[in-house]
Structure 1
Amino acid sequence: MKRHQLAAGAATAALCILAAPVAAQTAKPAATATVDTTTPPADPPQGSDDGATDIIVTGSARAQRRFDVSYAINSLSQADVQKIAPKSFADLLGTVPGIQVEATGGEVQNITRVRGIPTDRGYLIFQQDGLPLYHEIDGVFFNSGEGMNRYDLMTERVEIVRGGPAPIYASSAAAIANNITVSGGPVARGNAQLTLGDTGLYRLDAMQSGPIGDNSYFAIGGFLRQHDGYRYGGFPSDKGGQIRANLKRDLANGFVKVSAEYVNDHNVFYLPIPIADPRNPSVSLNPYIDYFTGTLNSPSLRNVNIKYRDGAGMMQGMTRDLSDGRHMRFFNAAVNYEGDFDGWKVSAKLGGSKGKSSFDAFYSTTNPADANTFAANYLTAARNAFGASVARLGYAFAGTNGASAYDPSTASGLVMSGQYRASESDFYSVQGDLSVTRRFMTGIGEHDVRVGVYGAFYGNTLDQAYQDMLIEVRSQPRTLDLLAYSATGQVLGSVTQNGVLRYTTTRNKGAADAQMIAFYANDTWEITNGLRVDAGVRTERYGYKGFALPTTQVNLGDATTLADDTTRAFTGQVLDQRLSPSVTNWTVGANYDLTNHFGAYGRISTLEVPPQMGVVSSINPTIVKTKARQYEVGLKASFGPNYLYATGFYTKFNPFNASFAAFNPVTGRNDQTLPFIGEASVKGVEVDGRVAPVRWFALDGSVTWQNPEYANLQNTSGADPSAVNGNQIIREAKFFGNLRPSVDFNLGEQRVSVFGRFEWVGRRYVDLFNRTAMPGYQTVGAGASVDSGPWRLQVVGDNLFNAHGLTEGNTRTDQFAGQGSGEAIYGRPLFGRNFRLIVSRSW
């Protein structure tokens, strides 16, 4: 660890740790203890309506009702999650207004887009009890969102803020998803849950909490799971689990809580598949790759040899196994302290993570190609390499040297290539937050002021190798070799080698370390009863230091194959890089409650996102500080169990980086670039509501309409931006939402609940020029549960009518020119109809 990083970390740790014991020793007992922000208050505030149990802490100086805050926020309790019964964390977030998800990548590695934010994962910052597990949104092929945060019975509730004060209470945040963990209390409680699925899912969750002495409590829980997967690739898709535990001590004026977490989990990544023949898009490929269960993941990719030359010119190799998937291992420890000192509320949080991420995935690249045309494209190169006596090229199963021939005409008549990506990263992240909050009266109303400092130091290593494989067009495809034959049928050489079309076309290696410090302040001014104005500012300073190893193209020298002709090799150089970005974010909002049931609010915010740390471990990165101005106007109504929250929003990015790098089928690298820098604007409305006209029926729902479009783009390489300006932003839907009806009644001594989920996503486009569309789709899910004493039995079904719908497209190649068709023929389809049985017992 570098000296300056150690100093920054020590300073942050000292601020957070020393504040708790020193203050505890010198404080006078307060008249009332502070609210524990990790668990809801035992009794709701008097006079509350729908917010009676909806106490929120995220984005707020202190715990308060949802109805009273001047920003859009949802709180999902364990009971809410039980009825939603999500397949993944992203699936859960998709029920929240303003968040569009593509939950088709598997249990993790999915896409979330926050309204108004035209980018994958949408600057959605995940926290656990108010701190991130890793400071940045993305690491090296892992995201610090659902990639590190896994929902289980140790999650008391999830609070999701969109816009509002998010930029003040987290770095690079257009939204925050805060996972509030279970804390122990004076009454022991526990729960165990078994989930079985018809996709080969076996999962066990458990949680236990309770007292361990006077004013001391514990909680521990986690899950173990194995899952064949929604798209079975010949090996389990998910295997592993996590455990979380904490100890909490109530003090005379607050509490201190110590937490620990360990995750060791494998998750296979589902990537796009071809669904139609590019030679004739009206011809389905469903006989070869089933729309709902097909995958390009395959047992043929469990022993992939990756060859390359190192910086010293020596031949190196590694063997990778696709079934390892995305293997996340990390340990996190955290300390959370809160205390009230005669009205001065002190909060100190410190957390650290150390882990390793290994990533193996088979990425889609180009569309399938006619097998004869594909072979013909390599005939000249084969004759140049193996001699003029090469009469023809033919296919065989990989590694058989022609002994096991493959004739594509007996199947689809197509072949295709894909890219095996292997990545290794060690990472660490330490972050701490210290704040003081104080209420005080003035001649005009009451102020609630919070000032704080947040610091972090973090880093990761980077070691990546990509290479292209040749495969047949079918689910769980076998790898192929393309061989050069003489007129007599003798094998003279091979375009490929053991299924490898191009060895190690991408090779990246480097490391980066970062330190940052942020100062923030927020004032909530209650001018009169019902009228509040709040304003906040956050300024951040970063320091990045890293290195990258440049590469060049080399021929590894194997005269029997073309597969090693365009391999990337390290040059032996080391590129040292530094960067010191800074950003300042601010927000101003006003809230007016006309009555106890009606209110309105407005807000303006500026969000600046610095270049991420990875720019100093990359070769020739695009370095752009993104800046967005956000406007919000909200209306809210609450009557007992019925409520309606509507927020109009307008977000303008300037500058906005719409640059893309696409896969080049000649080199096998993402070296086709189209740099567009300009503006993006998104305006729309999100609505979140609940109607419960009778005790036994309720309808929950969320709807978002938006108009995401590019504006004033500029290009320095001769491309015409007029063909892009005004277009709908890639993969952003204009209309999406869900409705969730439920019927609850008693049947004897049993409590019965029947619930449904209707979801829709509007039309999207895969490319900048809006040439290829992904049509809108609708899905229906349903479930039922029976509670009998401490036992609960639940059955849930998703996509009951096998609705067709595509997500993502094929982002490696189609972002520039589409897919050559009006509607997408390559993408990540929805999962087919599936069911889960959940049995739980609480005590």
Structure 2
Amino acid sequence: MRVSHVRSLLLSACALAATLPAVAAAQDAAAQHAEAGATAATASDEAVDEGEIVITGTARAQRRFDVSYAVNSLKQDDVLRIAPKNYADLLGTVPGIQVEATGGEVQNITRVRGIPTDRGYLIFQQDGLPLYHEIDGAFFNSGEGMNRFDLMTERVEIVRGGPAPIFASSAAAIANNITVTGDATPRGRAQLTLGDTGLYRLDLMQAGPVDDNSYFAIGGFLRHHDGYRDPGFASDKGGQIRANFKQDLENGFVKISAMYVNDHNLFYLPIPTADPRNPDVSLDPYIDYHKGTLNSPALRDVTIKYLDGTNQLQTLNRDLADGRHMRFFNLGFDWEGDFGGWLTSAKVGYTKGKSSFDAFYSTTNPADANTFAAGYLAAARTAFGANVARLGYALAGTNGATAYDPSSASGLIMSGQYRAVEADFYSGQADLSVTRKFETGIGSHDVRVGVYGSAYGVSSLQVYQDMLVEVQSRPRLIDLVAYSATGAVLGSVTQDGVLRYTTTLNQGDGDARMIALYANDTWEITRGLRLDAGIRREWYDYDGYALLSKEANLGDPTTLADNTTRAFTGAVIARQLKPSATNWTAGLNYDFTGNFGAYGRISNLEVPPQIGVTTSTAPTIVKTKARQIELGLKANFGPNYLYLTGFYTKFDPFNASFVAFNPVTGRNDQAVPFIGEAVAKGVEIDGRIAPTRWFDLTGSVTWADPEYRKLENSAGADPSAVNGNQIIREAKFFGNLRPAVHVPVGDGELEIAGRFEWVGRRYVDLFNLTALPAYQTFGASASLTRGPWRIQAVGDNLTNAKGLTEGNPRTDQLGGQGASDAIYGRPLFGRNFRLIVSRSW
């Protein structure tokens, strides 16, 4: 199959490489008389390299050096040079953002300046608008879950803190994906990526003029990937396509864009790495640290049972190979016009889609097989009679006939949770703003006033059930069977590998309407001295419902697996909510020279309850507040730059409550509420030095002190043992260095680059009992550019360094893992290589 994929993609690439330049040549005739667009960003690009222009978080396009907040602008060529494995891997090159890029292509973790959530309130946008208003939905997120980098991404602008709360809702940071837009110059690119992990990917892009005032761009990717942890089927398959058409007007432009995504992505969850009976004993012989996975072909035909609200049995058949299947269509409209200095902008977008989610979640540590079986013996005798002499293991689906002996392997057995989610979602959003520069007696004011509105919603069904598996990579399903003294099967604790049917059952529907008014003023008092301030006021209106559930017995006397399932009662809880939020920011900037400056800024972020509170039967309704303070120094000398930023982030109140997995019921029903503050203070360093034309060094370093403060607990836990502790999964020290050597080769260039990354010690629990040890990785790449061709070889984690991320969040947060260093988590991917061949025209 791999050979056929390679052959197909190579033929496609060759054909497109041959035909698309002809299209570009035809466009040259139209381009001879075309004029360049007259937007502010384009005008600025004439004087400054595009990578130094930013439009996110500012009233109009500016140089990166001129803005009074921390921002990075990564051009397409910068991203291609980095060659990240996924979007989180790319974000990890930016200071202040700690990532856990071990979940696969999507569903990864970003932590922004110590903000203790899995997304860090990092809001993704495409050309200034989100694809879905909220940061999360029912197991989909509007971050990397809906935004994928390809050749249609011109650049990525990443704002940390600063004015992010003014220009996006619930934003402590913004990642704005600026798409390729056609202009008077025809251009295109075809790119083929092959990887030793069974990766085959084809990217294409073509842009240029239609006539003197009209331009187009179209592109996307197709990809098949066996996976960094091969589950025995494709981990990633699918792709996306994006296109836009732009028409220049006398005083501006109109652009229409469209996007379609249809992509499957497998979710990698934590794996056990050591025997919990003796943490010094590695489980590598059974589950390889770098390549092992609990995803398995045995989970390609999973039966889920539950009772609906009319007491009728419902059966779902799920396939783990479907993974996280995201399908959506987005249509966008962008208009800009300059009316005598009044710059007016209107952006409209609408997204409609469906997300199907199948994943096998980690729950508890592996258990001694004999101890695990003994725990069910009494229940088995009650259910199947006193003649039950023993419990034994058998391969699932064999009715106990094919015995399985854990002692012949690790001696362990383990359970996991199959999660199935179906969600339909929509999101319409619009932004209208007017920007005007006023000259006054004391400097000038550049004022932007706008209104943003969104109507969005989600309808979802979530069903979880527990499975019993062997401790092995790509494990088989196991049954725990009740035998008589003569070896006759009397019943089974499990059923076809199901330990407990439908332990979690949720269904609901929610709709939201919101509107925001915002304003921002950049006051240039004197040359180099600027005061920047903004405010955003938001109003929300939620309306939704959730179906109530209860415990039920499905009535099969041959198994215990269906004794305590969840069933819908037929009752509905309706909920309405009208939260609001007020965000503001103020910053002072002074440029001592055209190359050296300093700034200070304070921002206030309020995050209202999300739409999920209307689709939950027992939601936690808390408005999260974050106060962010920044002090920065900046220097920019040609290709050399240094940005030094000190930051302070305070959440008050911070809801550190969580619901832990209960191994007795199989449900997440152990509530542990902690309410208080989370504080992070630190320093970011972002720099590049290029002392010669043949060498440069780029890097980012972050030092932080993320800690809990003033936590209170109403469930009997002692908060004094938590206050002052390091925030879960957040490092005090992390960063990366990327040296590169450039060697002329004929009329081309050979670039040899390295990537050294490190992440400091973290903890999996509130009490800092179990640590995720620090780790370091090395990567390297070599690329040769000759004329329109570029060939790049990339290697990641060349030393096969070991490092754990995440831990096991279902059970870790209160008691740790019973060991000083984690023995359960998501390990780094092992050594892997990619070959990237591209042709531009």
TM superposition score normalised by structure 1: 0.95
Q: What is the identity, as a one-letter code, of the residue corresponding to 2:772? A: M
Instruction: State the number of aligned residues.
Output: 807
Quote the residue 2:47 is aligned against. Answer: 44
Q: Separation in 1 of the partners of 2:241 and 2:137?
A: 22
| Deviation of 1:35 (Å) | 2.3
The answer to whether the 8 A contact 2:50-2:75 is kept is no
Write out aligned runs for 1:593-672 (5 A). 593-672=591-670
SS at match of 1:186: coil
Q: Separation in 2 of the partners of 1:497 and 1:74?
A: 53
Quote the residue 1:696 is aligned against. Answer: 694
Quote the residue 1:541 is aligned against. Answer: 539
SS at match of 2:617: coil
Match of 2:39 among 32, 35, 41: 35
Q: What is the identity, as a one-letter code, of the residue corresponding to 1:803? A: A
The answer to whether the 8 A contact 1:689-1:702 is kept is yes
The answer to whether the 8 A contact 1:435-1:452 is kept is yes
Q: Separation in 1 of the partners of 2:38 and 2:709?
A: 48
The answer to whether the 8 A contact 2:51-2:75 is kept is no
Quote the residue 1:455 is aligned against. Answer: 453
Distance 1:636-1:253 versus aligned 2 partners, 3 A rule: same
Write out aligned runs for 1:491-570 (5 A). 491-570=489-568
Q: Separation in 2 of the partners of 1:302 and 1:345?
A: 55
The answer to whether the 8 A contact 1:364-1:419 is kept is yes
Quote the residue 1:398 is aligned against. Answer: 396
The answer to whether the 8 A contact 2:251-2:337 is kept is yes
SS at match of 1:549: strand
The answer to whether the 8 A contact 2:789-2:839 is kept is yes
Describe the superposition over 1:537-592 as per-residue Cα deviations: whole angstroms up to 9, x where unpaired.
Answer: 00000000000001100111111000001100001101110110000000000000
The answer to whether the 8 A contact 1:116-1:650 is kept is no
Write out aligned runs for 1:757-796 (5 A). 757-796=755-794
SS at match of 2:570: coil
| Deviation of 1:52 (Å) | 7.0
Q: Separation in 1 of the partners of 2:599 and 2:114?
A: 18
Q: Tell me the C-alpha RMSD between the 2 structures.
A: 1.1
Quote the residue 2:191 is aligned against. Answer: 193
SS at match of 2:602: strand
Q: Separation in 2 of the partners of 1:235 and 1:244?
A: 28
Distance 1:483-1:36 versus aligned 2 partners, 3 A rule: farther
Write out aligned runs for 1:90-109 (5 A). 90-109=88-107
Describe the superposition over 1:93-147 as per-residue Cα deviations: whole angstroms up to 9, x where unpaired.
Answer: 1000111100000000100111131211100000000000000000110111000
TM superposition score normalised by structure 2: 0.95
Q: What is the identity, as a one-letter code, of the residue corresponding to 2:68? A: S
Describe the superposition over 1:183-218 as per-residue Cα deviations: whole angstroms up to 9, x where unpaired.
Answer: 001111100000000000000000001111121000
Identical positions, percent: 75
| Deviation of 1:33 (Å) | 7.3
SS at match of 1:815: helix
Quote the residue 2:750 is aligned against. Answer: 752
SS at match of 1:574: strand
Quote the residue 2:129 is aligned against. Answer: 131
| Deviation of 1:750 (Å) | 2.6
Describe the superposition over 1:271-297 as per-residue Cα deviations: whole angstroms up to 9, x where unpaired.
Answer: 000000000000000000000000000
SS at match of 1:372: helix
| Deviation of 1:78 (Å) | 1.0
Q: Separation in 1 of the partners of 2:511 and 2:336?
A: 31
Q: Separation in 2 of the partners of 1:322 and 1:351?
A: 32
| Deviation of 1:718 (Å) | 1.8
Q: Separation in 2 of the partners of 1:389 and 1:201?
A: 54
Write out aligned runs for 1:306-455 (5 A). 306-455=304-453
Q: What is the identity, as a one-letter code, of the residue corresponding to 1:726? A: G
| Deviation of 1:749 (Å) | 2.5
The answer to whether the 8 A contact 2:51-2:74 is kept is no
Residues 1:805 and 2:803 aligned together: yes
Match of 1:469 among 467, 470, 476: 467
The answer to whether the 8 A contact 2:456-2:511 is kept is yes
Q: Separation in 2 of the partners of 1:165 and 1:747?
A: 44
Q: Separation in 2 of the partners of 1:34 and 1:701?
A: 35
Describe the superposition over 1:361-405 as per-residue Cα deviations: whole angstroms up to 9, x where unpaired.
Answer: 000000000000000000000000000110000000001011111
| Deviation of 1:715 (Å) | 1.2
Q: What is the identity, as a one-letter code, of the residue corresponding to 2:779? A: G
Residues 1:487 and 2:488 aligned together: no
SS at match of 2:807: coil
Q: Separation in 2 of the partners of 1:790 and 1:637?
A: 34
The answer to whether the 8 A contact 1:116-1:649 is kept is no
| Deviation of 1:716 (Å) | 1.5
Match of 1:739 among 730, 737, 740: 737
Describe the superposition over 1:791-822 as per-residue Cα deviations: whole angstroms up to 9, x where unpaired.
Answer: 11100000000000000000001111000000
| Deviation of 1:42 (Å) | 4.4
Q: What is the identity, as a one-letter code, of the residue corresponding to 1:374? A: F
The answer to whether the 8 A contact 1:44-1:53 is kept is no
Write out aligned runs for 1:163-174 (5 A). 163-174=161-172
Q: Separation in 1 of the partners of 2:304 and 2:400?
A: 22
Q: Separation in 2 of the partners of 1:154 and 1:671?
A: 44
Write out aligned runs for 1:670-685 (5 A). 670-685=668-683
SS at match of 1:405: coil
Q: Separation in 2 of the partners of 1:255 and 1:415?
A: 63
Q: Which runs of 4+ in 1 moved over 3 A?
A: 39-42
Q: Separation in 2 of the partners of 1:770 and 1:53?
A: 41
Quote the residue 1:62 is aligned against. Answer: 60
Quote the residue 1:16 is aligned against. Answer: none
The answer to whether the 8 A contact 1:467-1:502 is kept is yes
Describe the superposition over 1:282-315 as per-residue Cα deviations: whole angstroms up to 9, x where unpaired.
Answer: 0000000000000000000000000111111111
Describe the superposition over 1:295-345 as per-residue Cα deviations: whole angstroms up to 9, x where unpaired.
Answer: 000000000000111111111111000000000000000001111110000
Q: Separation in 1 of the partners of 2:786 and 2:837?
A: 11
Q: Separation in 2 of the partners of 1:794 and 1:370?
A: 48
Quote the residue 1:9 is aligned against. Answer: none
Q: What is the identity, as a one-letter code, of the residue corresponding to 2:128? A: G
Q: Separation in 2 of the partners of 1:91 and 1:717?
A: 38
Structure 2 gap ranges (5+): 1-35
Quote the residue 1:591 is aligned against. Answer: 589
The answer to whether the 8 A contact 1:556-1:565 is kept is yes
The answer to whether the 8 A contact 1:33-1:253 is kept is no
Q: Separation in 2 of the partners of 1:41 and 1:589?
A: 23
The answer to whether the 8 A contact 2:37-2:183 is kept is no
Match of 2:144 among 146, 156, 159: 146
Q: Separation in 1 of the partners of 2:182 and 2:50?
A: 22
Q: Separation in 1 of the partners of 2:734 and 2:265?
A: 28
SS at match of 1:426: strand
Q: Separation in 1 of the partners of 2:579 and 2:322?
A: 36
Q: What is the identity, as a one-letter code, of the residue corresponding to 1:555? A: N
